[in-house]
Structure 1
Amino acid sequence: MYKLKKCVLCGTETSLELSHIVPKMVMRTLKKTATGNIRNSQNPSVPAQDSEKHYMLWGNCEDLFSEKETYFANALFHPYIKGTG
C-alpha cells in the first residue's frame, strides 16, 4: 500500500514506500548474534520479526538508499562483523 506524501529525502510529493528504519542487514546480524530475541518496544512479549518501517521515501530515493546501503554493507559492515575489515 502506498501513501501520498512528501519524500523526506528530496521533498517530492508522490506515493511513498515503506522504508526500514534499521536496515535489514543490521537486523539480520542482530538476530544472528543476539543472546536472546529482539523485541519490539510496543509489544515486548512478542519477538520482532522485522525492523520498524515507515512511509518515508519514494521509489527513486528508496533505490538510491538501497544502492548506497549495499556498498556500505559490502565495503565496511560485513568485513567489520567478520573481523576482516
Structure 2
Amino acid sequence: MGKTIKARFSRGIIEPMEKIDIAEGKEITITIIEIPSGKEEDAFEKSAGSWKGTIDAEKLMKDIYADRLVSTRNEPKL
C-alpha cells in the first residue's frame, strides 16, 4: 500500500506534517520530490531580454529566409 504525505526537512530530520498509520519499527521506502517555492523564477523568464543588442534580428531573419531558398538536394536522374 502506498500513500503520499507532506513532510518537512529540518536539521537533517524528515518530519511528517500529517498523521501516518505505520507500525513502530516498520521498514518503509521514501521517495523525495522537492516542491518549488513560489519565489523561484522560470529559467525561460530569467533569460528574457538577455540577447538584446547582441545580434541584428532583422539580418538574422533575412539570412534564415535566404538559406531556405538554397537547394542542397541532388536533382534526380530520370
Whether TM exceeds 0.5 here: the answer is: no
Greater RCO, CA 8 A, separation 6+: 1
Instruction: Flag the structure with higher strand content.
Output: 1
TM-score normalized by the length of structure 1: 0.27
Larger radius of gyration: 2
Which structure carries more helix by proportion? 1
Structure-2-length-normalised TM-score:
0.29
